[in-house]
Chains A and B, each alone.
Chain A
């Protein structure tokens, strides 16, 4: 579905939403001569417009010794362009009351911005200036790298946040792009050249997609985006990483990050999950809803509702281009660490051995079909993000439009097959942040050996 085609490729048909039916609102999709993909969706109502831009690559495109390069490059776009210095850019953005946010995910760098509809043209010009004409002044690069380095360290002051990079680094390992996480160590390897080169290589028409959603005239918006971005070079298309199969380790592995005096232990129990295009994805997400995806899930019911061990327990299924983690995530007071892990494993075992019943599966379907419209299609920012996700993963509108039918088609037999296949009880990877002195003995029984690191040691256990 990608290609250099100047004409409109798809205009979805407007069908009003009804219960158990999910439809993307109508939008246009076109590919400009330079390869840039543009999607425009008009949503009447609040006078705001979302302008989002995705650059292919994201985390998987970071050089092995510079995890975080995609994100840092995104952050630096506004710090000096051919026509504005950093201060001028901020003043112009703020004068419009605009927002500007950068986030690199597994497969893209996402720039999310929002303006009042009346300021669409001015906002677009500003965003185009950043994306196409960033100059990366040396002084700004140095400043931002130093800030990012401090931010990476500050993450450790919030263990609920810090556990994620530790878990990624330990679970995937340094040889996998998802195992290389941004830290003060990787930031020290970045410089103006690596950033400017990354920008030159990746920020070209064939790697860019733009979604404009909001209270705007669609035809005008298309014309304005074309004008603003037609100068972008076509460039070379980014070559996606080949699939990497995650193998289950024969024995459990365990990382203990020592945070002295922590009164609560944060932990992940991870195993290989799925990739975004897995044919099991709908069934896995329904099983996950029941296992750890909603308040009355099996995990939350046991660890919070029945036992009061935690404020919340959940299970997270990554859905990215490459196969990702499937991980239980929760926290509990230091003294009950061992008990909470054992209980989590018991819930996992129950799912794996006893499977689900038909009424549970029906409940998961009803839940997902109830919450999805408002979590996916209600606001312009949700819609823009969704359009770009579909684009980055090469999905067509049917990924959304047939979702409920595909959910309905998941049988109890299929659900139980994926429950056994993806929710295994052996070869697990454990990651803990807590007071090692007090929890070492409690967690020792879950793996043959413990790798222990000090939270104040630089980085997150990887590069």
Chain B
């Protein structure tokens, strides 16, 4: 109720009854938390499982194993043989996906309402009784390797950001890529898999989110029926390693067959739950959201030095990175582009953002926030993300007010803290023609 009032003050006349106050929660005896939000717009349900299992919980030698698990979870459990999860789901009019980050693995199911019972049964079976078959592990290894080739080896930004993140984070487990180093993908053993599964996949390490055409009491009843008997147990501890403070700029250059170069600047920033986070989000918006944003307007429209400018971070439990990615235009020196970026960063540190620009960024942030809530899938994802990374799903509805409070002085403060040379890693992808090289040989 508090939220609805706050937003009504910001946007007179807009009713937010539908999205506020309508989430019901329950926690099973084994510690598994459930969030439910009914929405009967279309006959469809989104069922999301957020496991606190990510590359942050890995160690050298088994990097990428969390992501590999995301794949293995579809390859057979005690009561549903290999491929059965997908087959059952699709024959009942549903489909699914999953994603892995540095902190979480999220399983995303979308299906018609009458399939809810079956889905809960299948999800419970794979949480408690996953089966590992050597032949399937081998073929899935090939699939994951193909995914690495797709996202890293044959994707210039994928290749560059992997190097930049590894240069920026040298000690904390965020150092390695979520997909894992190639040699680790080749080397995981059955034993590694079984140990990892037993440790990470516990009901107390999971949050279930249901949005859409369901009845909340029915969801709670099914959750009790299928999940409450799964015993809780100790899972991964928190990583001990704290990333040491960076003491000077780090620069990485990679050479690849490419038409155009790429420039990336990554700055250490606090985790998502930090009180500074709303100000950082507004700062990012001012820098690169929309064509009137500072970097886009200067680099793309006025100097014509770049094709695009993006600024982003990703939700993280521990301190990670604010990244700036620029695609320089053909024939423009990357060093020139870098100078332009740095001069814009210096400007935002030097003088407070004018009120109209601050207002514009807050409007952009709010509209974008609402866009994330348009679908059942979007709401399920946001509820789970806020519960894990902000510590409480209700922050999803409180954050607009937090962003509204951000002042020009806040923006300047976080910019001065984060956007410094000694806090950054710079990555440059230099196009190189293999043909020219071969001709030279």
Contacts and interface: CB of A to CB of B under 8 A. Distances in A.
Interface of A: 17-19, 43-48, 86-87, 90-91, 93-99, 114-118, 143, 146-147, 150-151, 153-154, 156-160, 259-264, 294-296, 301, 304-311, 331-333, 363, 366-371, 373-374, 377-381, 454, 456
B128 interface: no
A158 B155 contact: yes
A304 B82 CA distance: 13
B234 interface: no
Contacts of B95: 294-295, 367, 370-371
Of A46, A90, A264, the most chain B CB neighbours within 10 A belong to A46
B266 to A, nearest CB: 20
A99 B438 CA distance: 46
Contacts of B153: 263-264
A148 B91 CA distance: 44
A331 B145 CA distance: 12
Nearest to A336: B142
B18 interface: yes
Contacts of A301: 83
A103 to B, nearest CB: 17
B150 A160 contact: yes
Contacts of B307: 147, 150-151, 154
Contacts of B363: 94-97, 116
A379 B375 contact: yes
Contacts of B368: 97
B93 A97 contact: no
A370 B90 CA distance: 8
A266 to B, nearest CB: 8
B398 to A, nearest CB: 17
A150 B375 contact: no
Contacts of B143: 304, 308, 310-311
Contacts of A115: 367
Contacts of B91: 363, 366-367
Given A47-B11, A90-B297, A143-B304, A369 B374 contact: no
B55 interface: no
B139 A374 contact: no
A263 B149 contact: yes
Contacts of B111: 370
Contacts of B141: 308
A145 to B, nearest CB: 12
Contacts of A307: 139, 142
Given A19-B112, A367-B90, A373-B42, A259 B292 contact: no
A132 B327 CA distance: 32
Interface in B40-66: 41-44
24 contacts: A46-B374, A47-B11, A47-B14, A47-B16, A48-B367, A86-B301, A94-B289, A95-B359, A95-B363, A97-B363, A97-B367, A116-B11, A117-B14, A143-B301, A151-B307, A264-B153, A296-B83, A296-B90, A307-B142, A309-B146, A332-B146, A371-B94, A378-B374, A456-B433
A96 B361 CA distance: 9
Interface in B78-94: 83, 86-87, 90-94
Nearest to B367: A97
Interface string B141-173: 111111101100111100000000000000000
Contacts of A311: 143-144, 146-147, 150
B42 A48 contact: no
B314 interface: no
Contacts of A153: 259-260, 330
Nearest to B292: A90
B46 to A, nearest CB: 8
B406 interface: no
A17 B41 CA distance: 8
Given A91-B360, A307-B142, A380-B374, 4 more contacts: A48-B367, A87-B292, A90-B292, A296-B87
Nearest to B327: A154
B303 to A, nearest CB: 11
Contacts of A114: 367, 371
Sort A-B residue pairs by CB-CB distance and give the 6 closest, nearest first: A370-B93, A308-B142, A97-B367, A308-B139, A94-B290, A260-B434
B293 interface: yes
Contacts of B359: 95
Contacts of B289: 94
B38 to A, nearest CB: 13
Contacts of B257: 259-262
B154 A264 contact: yes
Given A94-B289, A95-B360, A370-B112, A331 B146 contact: yes
A117 B364 CA distance: 14
A47 B14 CA distance: 7
Contacts of B15: 47
A380 B258 CA distance: 39
A157 B259 contact: yes
Contacts of B364: 94, 97
Nearest to B91: A363
B249 interface: no
Given A363-B90, A370-B93, A333 B155 contact: no
B329 A150 contact: yes
B300 interface: yes
Contact of A19 (B13, B114, B435): B114
B140 interface: yes
A45 B18 contact: yes
Query: Taking each of B41, B94, B113, B141, which has the highest tally of chain A beta carbons within 10 Å of its own beta carbon?
Result: B41
Contact of B290 (A18, A90, A158): A90
B370 A47 contact: yes
A373 B45 CA distance: 11
Contacts of B438: 260
A47 B19 CA distance: 10
B376 interface: yes
B43 A19 contact: yes
Given A95-B360, A153-B259, A371-B94, A160 B44 contact: no
A378 to B, nearest CB: 5
B346 interface: no
Contacts of B194: none
B340 interface: no
Contact of A91 (B147, B258, B292, B374): B292
Given A45-B18, A308-B142, A116 B292 contact: no
A371 B149 contact: no
Contacts of B360: 91, 94-95, 97
B153 to A, nearest CB: 5
A154 B304 contact: no
A374 B14 contact: no
Nearest to A290: B90
Contacts of A309: 142, 146
Interface in B166-187: none
Nearest to A158: B155
B87 to A, nearest CB: 5
B138 interface: yes
Interface in B290-322: 290-293, 297, 300-301, 304, 307
A380 B95 CA distance: 22
Contact of A305 (B83, B258, B370): B83
A48 B18 CA distance: 13
